[in-house]
Amino acid sequence: MLKFWQKYKKYLGLVFILLLATFLYQLVINLKEKIQENGIQQELVLTLANESLNQAVINFLLSKNDFAWQTEEGTENFCLFHNLYPEKELFPIYLWVRCGEFKMVEDQVKETSGISLPIKIDYPNELSYYDIEKFSYVIPRDGSFYGQDLEVIFPKEIQPRLRSINYSLLNDKIVEIAGQSLPN
């Protein structure tokens, strides 16, 4: 047995390393598949079916007190969204909305207030023109009703996406948008 070990230990070591590498590779592949199955998204999807719909949704959000308000003189409101269900092109649409009130202070963008939450937006299926007066929306209630409302408002296939929002990316992006738009 000792002769066998001495003669083949180099090969057995290589076989062990290959088995370990195969195991780790399969573990990574399985993890990626699980992430995709759960619908967890690492990148922001900041667009909808077309640019006019994108702009109509932003204008709609900015027209509603639930998303845009003024707490200080000289501030501006900005909104962006993460499309929670990009596979679905027709209404209703499901978004994670990030809106904020911003101003410039000593060449720095300062947020004075803001909101970040999921929303379901519906619209009568008129194809060409988006009238923001015809949009309707539903957002979850605060407190103990929040979790229950998420289950009622949003389809099961996007439930995992609601729990995997990258708030840091949303916050960075809205500050970037505000910084590009605010007067210095």
- The candidate with the shortest Cα–Cα distance to 53, out of 154, 116, 159, 135, is 135
Q: Work out the widest C-alpha separation in the chain, in whole angstroms.
A: 86
Strand partners, 100: 78, 114
Q: What is the model's pTM?
A: 0.76
Name the domain count of the chain: 2
- Domain for residue 158, yes or no? yes
- Domain for residue 162, yes or no? yes
Q: 146 and 168: one domain?
A: yes
Tell me how many degrees the CA angle 57-48-92 measures, rounded to the nearest 5: 70
Q: 101 and 159: one domain?
A: yes
Tokens of 179: 């910084």
Q: 24 and 69: one domain?
A: no
- Domain for residue 117, yes or no? yes
Which domain covers residue 12, as residue numbers? 1-37
Tell me how many degrees the CA angle 89-120-53 measures, rounded to the nearest 5: 45
Share above pLDDT 70 across residues of the chain, in percent, rounded to a whole number: 76
Mean pLDDT score, 113-119? 97
Q: What's the confidence (pLDDT) of residue 40?
A: 47
Q: What's the confidence (pLDDT) of residue 130?
A: 87
- The candidate with the shortest Cα–Cα distance to 78, out of 5, 147, 184, 178, is 178
- Domain for residue 44, yes or no? no
* Helix (H) / strand (E) containing 181: helix 167-181
